[in-house]
A and B are shown apart, each in its own frame.
Chain A
Amino acid sequence: MGYFLQQLINGLTLGMVYGLIAIGYTMVYGIIGMINFAHGEIFMIGAFVSIITFLLLGILGVTWIPLALLIVLIVTMVLTSAYGWTLERVAYRPLRGSTRLAPLITAIGMSIFFQNYVMLLQGARVRPMQPLITGGFHFFKHSNFVVTLSYLQIFIVVLTVVLMLVFTYLISHTALGRAQRACEQDLKMASLVGIDVNRTISMTFIIGSALASVAGLMFLLNYGVIDFYIGFVAGIKAFTAAVLGGIGSLPGAMLGGLAIGLIEAFWSGYFTVEYKDVAAFAILVLVLIFRPTGMLGKPDVEKV
């Protein structure tokens, strides 16, 4: 029971991180119908910007942890979303309305570019960081398995929930959100009624990148080690999450993220750690075969 609960907590925390990345995939797919393959690298850049900002704050003498976290959060969101914006501007916008394959190739190209860019600038070695938030609550202290709910996990969950609330408000109640929903339905029609489509798509990439950068920060805090290669696997899993939840659906992305996180935690807990990625991919294949629209997706009608 205690072991089960522990895996549940771990899985939910992990799922939140995947969910935040998955939102970026699902938003972009919803609006311009392409897989932003380089989104995983944006997450990785977010993690690197976070660790640099933490070190910088350490030098500047900001030691009060809540303030440091807030500053890091803002800095990484701003700097990383600049990368997301550039990505769209350089690699995707010139190819809009082109063949379906072209943006996929540029996306892979940008992904390779970003990985090597970070590797060249920050080195290929794994970067460890001291745990920043330590301690937590302990349950079942008298049984043989103590369940831990760390403050870090609480921080991740609370931050995700807050971000999701802000994000939901943004989508449902602001002019930008309205424009995004209009673009999702019909790009051409939206431009005819006076929506600045380019700006809306740019904002989509900025928001998606900002959320991914927060996921990068959480990954850094949770695991304490990052390298230039973390974006690939995390990106694939987050995409799996987006598909699982129903691509194009925002609550679906979060739900899919949680599902992937839980599957991974339980698989590692009860089966083998080595094959946890295989489990995630197998789920993706199964979902696509039996329910291609995902959990919350709308059925995709093929037009002739």
Chain B
Amino acid sequence: MKNTIKVQRAIHDLTQEELAARVNVTRQTINALEAGRYIPSGVLVLKIARVFGQRVEDIFSLEDND
């Protein structure tokens, strides 16, 4: 699963730490998400989309091998 969290963070001028605090996870989790090392739960996906005021599909998308 691909995501545009890094781009969205830049647009909203948020650090990994700030986003992590907003969605109640560790900074490591945001880092792992951005690096594609971790597939988030549905709840976390919805929380991240809410922080950026976007639809889930605008931030997260499936890859061919998903």
Task: Tell me whether A and B are bound partners.
Answer: no
